[in-house]
Amino acid sequence: MRIIDLNKTREIGSQCIYLEVGNFKILLDCGMSPREEGFKALPNFALINGEAIDIIIISHCHLDHVGSLPFFMKNQQQARVLTSPASHIIMPRILENSVTIMTMQREERGVKEYPLYSMSDIKELDKHILQMPHAKTRTLQKDGSEINVTFFSAGHVIGASSVLIEHKHRTLFFSGDVLFRNQKTLKGALWPKKTVDVVISETTRGNHSQRDDFSYQSEIDRLVNRIKYTLEGGGSVLIPAFALGRMQEILKILHNAQTQKKLPKNIPIFCSGLGLGLVDDFEVANKKLRCIDFRSAILRDLKVKSFRNAKFDKLRKPTQQSIFVLSSGMLVENTPSYITAANLVGSPQNAILFVGYCDPMTPGGELLAQEKHSSFDFKALRVSSKIEAYIERFDLSGHADREDLLECIFSLNPRTVVLTHGEKESRDWFFDNIIDKRPKIVIVDPEPGEWCDV
Ligand SMILES: [Zn+2]
Ligand SMILES: [Zn+2]
């Protein structure tokens, strides 16, 4: 088996690995980088220029895994796209939203190549999709070569999958993005109990050590207490959250807190459109698959309002105390969370509470890294504000802790581990710990664009 990491940098970026197994040419994910724009945000497709891809595996519907799929498929009409039934339901809405954002960025920032694909390109995808229910093996054939492909639940977000590929006596396992613990809305990953030859693993949390006294519930309690404290002090709260996954998890946490009288019911809650729209998809997915513990009744109970109806005065302050649960989770420029952060950050009564991963190069990552009272440039709005609001990160990540992930990789007893989807320090932690604990394992930390035999 041979691979090329098509991500342009050794970072999280645009997840996409080219893999040759038998006669099959396969892509593992087809993402778009959140920190770049235009063609730069795409994986390095030039490296496989002219190759006819047989199979594209989409592990889940975050844009860093699926964002460039309609662009790539324009010249790959023979390819089949394998994804879970829930991801199949969600994918069009995520990609359509991406077209809307790219169209906006073309106008506002002059990115001439945007949008990189159209609504009709997204519709075209549908006829290429082969649904892969979890734990059901599908056999595929090409020119006398045969592979078995099995998707497994990866936790993380609705529909997220880890993928096993078997060819003759060789086996390869791709983690996708994975979380083993249960969330309030979703059960944790269920990996196979077997030995595999090669594991290609995400490494997102490799640079994060967990406190010994950490528990998911205690972190939720800390978040709820901080929201309560801020509201009691007359401030508003912004929780930037990925529309897919984090937003619904946070809404369920707020719902539980209100039910248990830990938070007041009279403060309006605003959410951005994509996160609300996805709840409709969850309802459709749940009817068929019963895959997620989130009902639209939660939105009704919380009286959630669309962000479009939120009002700010001339001084850019909210006209009433509010809780904002808005995408993007990383405050990507001109998104609802970015605009609201610019409105809230100047007042010490307010709080901006991060609940997921923030790429250090995005405005969210930059804001987290900056000192209180320093001034922060919201470049896209041409506004500079002093950071006076309370800013904190809560560890409600949708990714596995590094120790859990390492243990689960070891449980597959691999000969080779390929590191992917993480910053340098994160990969280094996995590298060092695998060498230390299982010195016989071959570790591959692929140089972007280089062939690796695995
Ligand atoms: Zn993800
Ligand atoms: Zn990811």
The CA 440 to ligand 2 mean position distance, Å, reads 28
For the chain, the domain total comes to 2
Question: Which of 25, 22, 20 shows the shortest CA–CA distance to 54?
Answer: 25
What pLDDT was estimated at residue 2? Answer: 96
What pLDDT was estimated at residue 434? Answer: 98
The CA 276 to ligand 1 mean position distance, Å, reads 18
The CA 107 to ligand 1 mean position distance, Å, reads 28
Q: Which ligand is nearest to the CA of 31?
A: 2
The whole-number average pLDDT for the span 10-20 is 94
Phi-psi region of 268 (alpha: psi -120 to 50; beta: other; left: phi over 0): beta
Query: What is the extent of the structural domain holding 368?
Result: 216-393
**Same domain (yes/no): 70, 141:** yes
The CA 311 to ligand 2 mean position distance, Å, reads 33
Q: Which ligand is nearest to the CA of 179?
A: 1
Q: Report whether 238 contacts 354 (CB < 8 A).
A: no
**Same domain (yes/no): 264, 324:** yes
Q: Which ligand is nearest to the CA of 157?
A: 1
In three-state form (DSSP H/G/I as H, E/B as E, the rest C), the secondary structure along the chain is CEEEECCCCCCCCCCCEEEEECCEEEEECCCCCCCCCHHHHCCCHHHHCCCCCCEEECCCCCHHHHCCHHHHHCCCCCCEEEECHHHHHHHHHHHHHHHHHHHHHHHHHCCCCCCCCCHHHHHHHHHHEEECCECCCEEEEECCEEEEEEEEECCCCCCCEEEEEEECCEEEEECCCCCCCCCCCCCCCCCCCCCCCEEEEECHHHHCCCCCCCCHHHHHHHHHHHHHHHHHCCCCEEEECCCCCHHHHHHHHHHHHHHCCCCCCCCCEEECHHHHHHHHHHHHHHHHHCCCCCCCHHHHHHCCEEHHHCCECCCCCECCCCEEEECCCCCCCCCHHHHHHHHHCCCCCCEEEECCCCCCCCHHHHHHHCCCCCEEEEHHHCEEEECCCEEEECCCCCCCCHHHHHHHHHHCCCCEEEEECCCHHHHHHHHHHHHHHCCCCEEECCCCCCEEEC
**Same domain (yes/no): 175, 312:** no
Q: Which ligand is nearest to the CA of 60?
A: 1
Ligand 1 being an ion, which residues bring their Cβ within 5 A of it? 62, 177
The whole-number average pLDDT for the span 304-318 is 90
Question: Alpha-carbon distance 225 to 270, whole Å?
Answer: 19
The CA 227 to ligand 2 mean position distance, Å, reads 28
Residue 35 has pLDDT above 90, yes or no: no
Of 347, 372, 393, the residue that ends a domain is 393
Q: Which ligand is nearest to the CA of 155?
A: 1
Q: What's the pTM value of the predicted model, to 2 decimals? A: 0.95
- Tokens representing residue 156 in the block: 């993380």
**Same domain (yes/no): 223, 358:** yes
The CA 83 to ligand 1 mean position distance, Å, reads 14
**Same domain (yes/no): 387, 404:** no
Residue 223 has pLDDT above 90, yes or no: yes
The CA 177 to ligand 1 mean position distance, Å, reads 5
The pLDDT confidence band at residue 212, using thresholds 50, 70 and 90, is confident
Q: Which ligand is nearest to the CA of 245?
A: 1
What pLDDT was estimated at residue 356? Answer: 87
Q: Report whether 240 contacts 330 (CB < 8 A).
A: yes
Cα 360 from chain centroid (whole Å): 15
pLDDT tens-digit map of 276-289 = 999 999 999 999 99
The CA 60 to ligand 1 mean position distance, Å, reads 7
The CA 334 to ligand 1 mean position distance, Å, reads 21
**Same domain (yes/no): 350, 409:** no
The CA 454 to ligand 2 mean position distance, Å, reads 22
**Same domain (yes/no): 105, 196:** yes
Of 348, 371, 393, the residue that ends a domain is 393
Q: Which ligand is nearest to the CA of 204?
A: 2
**Same domain (yes/no): 262, 224:** yes
Question: Alpha-carbon distance 271 to 397, whole Å?
Answer: 19
pLDDT tens-digit map of 109-165 = 899 999 999 999 999 999 999 999 999 999 999 999 999 999 999 999 999 999 999
The CA 33 to ligand 2 mean position distance, Å, reads 10
Strand pairing report for 138-142 and 145-153: antiparallel
Amino acid code (one letter) for 423 = E
What pLDDT was estimated at residue 365? Answer: 96
Q: How many CA atoms lie within 13 A of 384 on its CB side?
A: 4
The CA 157 to ligand 1 mean position distance, Å, reads 7
User: What residues contact 230, with CB distance under 8 A and at least 6 apart?
Assistant: 236, 237, 349, 350, 351, 390
The whole-number average pLDDT for the span 8-33 is 96
The CA 452 to ligand 2 mean position distance, Å, reads 22
What pLDDT was estimated at residue 129? Answer: 98
Amino acid code (one letter) for 35 = R
User: What residues contact 229, with CB distance under 8 A and at least 6 apart?
Assistant: none
Compute how many other C-beta atoms are within 10 angstroms of the C-beta atom of residue 67. 28
What pLDDT was estimated at residue 27? Answer: 98
Residue 131, class by beta-carbon neighbours within 10 Å (0-12 exposed, 13-18 middle, 19+ buried)? middle
The CA 174 to ligand 2 mean position distance, Å, reads 13
What pLDDT was estimated at residue 316? Answer: 82
pLDDT tens-digit map of 249-278 = 999 999 999 999 999 999 999 999 999 999
pLDDT tens-digit map of 390-432 = 999 999 999 999 999 999 999 999 999 999 999 999 999 999 9
The CA 64 to ligand 2 mean position distance, Å, reads 6
Q: CA-based Rg of the chain, rounded to a whole angstrom?
A: 22
Q: For the sheet containing 24-28, what is the strand order? A: 129-131, 80-83, 55-57, 24-28, 17-21, 2-5, 451-453
**Same domain (yes/no): 18, 140:** yes
- Tokens representing residue 368 in the block: 């987290």
What pLDDT was estimated at residue 357? Answer: 83
The CA 236 to ligand 2 mean position distance, Å, reads 30
Of 346, 366, 393, the residue that ends a domain is 393
Q: Report whether 275 contacts 328 (CB < 8 A).
A: no
**Same domain (yes/no): 192, 309:** no
Q: Report the percent of the chain where pLDDT is more than 90.
A: 92
The CA 163 to ligand 2 mean position distance, Å, reads 15
The CA 62 to ligand 2 mean position distance, Å, reads 7
The CA 395 to ligand 1 mean position distance, Å, reads 16
Amino acid code (one letter) for 213 = D
The CA 289 to ligand 2 mean position distance, Å, reads 23
What pLDDT was estimated at residue 34? Answer: 85
Instruction: State the average pLDDT for the chain.
Output: 96
Residue 358 has pLDDT above 90, yes or no: no
**Same domain (yes/no): 433, 290:** no
Q: Which ligand is nearest to the CA of 243?
A: 1
What pLDDT was estimated at residue 195? Answer: 98
Q: Domain holding 297: CATH number? A: 3.40.50.10890
Beta-ladder partners of 392: 353
The CA 186 to ligand 1 mean position distance, Å, reads 14
**Same domain (yes/no): 112, 194:** yes
Q: Domain holding 163: CATH number? A: 3.60.15.10
The whole-number average pLDDT for the span 5-27 is 95
